[in-house]
Structure 1
Amino acid sequence: MRLFVAILLDDPVKTGLCRAIDALRGQAMSGNFTRRENLHLTLAFLGETSRVEQAKQAVDAVSAGPFALRLAGFGRFERRGGDICWMGIQRCPELEELHRQLTGALRTAGFALEERAFRPHLTLGREVLFAGPFPRGALEQTVPPLEQAVAEIHLMKSERIGGRLTYTSIFRRSLRGEEGTR
């Protein structure tokens, strides 16, 4: 099973992100754009594993509290076959602590995680090609900064259903001190 841990986004944030995706699509020659139902903030990518129970236990070990997530700014990771375009996350000590606790628990449980620095972002499109420069200004005019309360994290499974990439929450951990639910 292909797994990752994520913060799911509320409807107003998804609506704002979909406006940004529509603006990107209008500026791009081509690209694979994130579907509304797949918008999320990845905290840790586990990849293919059969160790679902160990992953749930690691997620349940997190003791971070709720916080506000503020989204602002746009950017891209330049790639040869097309860019990954994203909306950024304002620096948030609570998010950084949550990430530190989560990755520590996952590593203690034996999961091999990426070693690169945590750069939280929301992926809007992959393999995006532009005829001209990256339209950062147009995106920022389309979508103002967004904010949402974060009160839980999810262990997600990723699979193809009917040819579509589908993400499903298989375990949820409250950040209010309540135990996780399956």
Structure 2
Amino acid sequence: MRAFIALELPQDFEADVAVLARQLQAQVRGRFMRRDTYHVTLAFLGEIDEAAARQVVDAMDLACGGAPAIQLVPDGLGTFGRPHDATLWLGLRLTPELDALASAVRDQLDVAGVGYDQKAFRPHITLARRAALPRRPLDGLMFPAPATACRVTLFKSVLSQEGATYKALYRAALGG
């Protein structure tokens, strides 16, 4: 199964991200993500089997046990790729707590021998794919207020022509 570990967004924050995405849709062409796909990836695992999934659950428990809830602070928009075919995302401030959580998850995966994408952690929420950005500034955008995230989730990702669908397989609580 194709899987990843992510920080789930609080519902109010997720709703505010959806408002921002609707504002962007009026100014940017692209394939905008569904609200139920918003998350902050901590580690992309790729294809794993059931045995590896059990190891991932153990790694998550070790990494999240005693970890504080995470403050999500929007930090502007960014892109991966070319301006006429980009992935558009909402960046989040890399707080010491968020950095420590991502590092702890990745460290525990290393200890368990579970592979993951080694790209540097860059906290963001993907808003659109295949986005064509205008040459003018984006106006009138309302960014979400900071919020606190309390759950780290192992997601199964199923790809189809309509896009990805994510199913939560396991959740670990943050903040005691």
Task: Place the TM-score, normalised by the shorter chain, in its bin.
Answer: 0.7 to 0.9
The equivalent position to 1:126 in structure 2, one of 126, 129, 132, is 129
Counterpart selection for 2:89 from 86, 90, 96: 86
- Name the amino acid aligned to 1:24: L
Q: Which stretches of structure 1, 4 residues or more, deviate above 6 A after TM superposition?
A: none
Q: 1:21 to 1:35 in 2, by over 3 A?
A: same
Displacement of 1:163? 4.7
Shift of 1:162: 8.8
Deviation at 1:80, TM superposition (A): 7.4
Alignment of 1:31-180 (within 5 A): 31-50=30-49, 51-62=52-63, 63=65, 64-79=67-82, 82-130=85-133, 132-133=134-135, 135=137, 137-138=138-139, 141-160=140-159, 163-177=162-176
Answer whether contact 2:150 2:174 (CA < 8 A) is retained: yes
Q: Give matches, 1:16-27, under 5 Å.
A: 16-27=16-27
Residue 26 of structure 2 aligns to a residue whose secondary structure is helix
Aligned CA distance change for structure 1 residues 56 and 145 (closer, same or farther; 3 Å): same
1:86–1:124 CA contact under 8 A, matched in 2:
yes
Higher mean alpha-carbon deviation, 74-83 vs 86-95, is at 74-83
Tell me which amino acid in the other structure corresponds to 2:142: V
Unaligned runs of 5+ in 1: 178-182
Equivalent position SS for 1:146:
coil
| Range with bigger deviation, 53-62 or 8-17 | 8-17
Q: In the comparison of the two structures, how many residue pairs are matched?
A: 172
Query: If the length of structure 2 is used for normalisation, what is the TM-score?
Result: 0.87
Amino acid paired to 1:17: V
SS of aligned partner of 1:176: coil
The reply to whether residue 7 of structure 1 matches residue 7 of structure 2 is yes
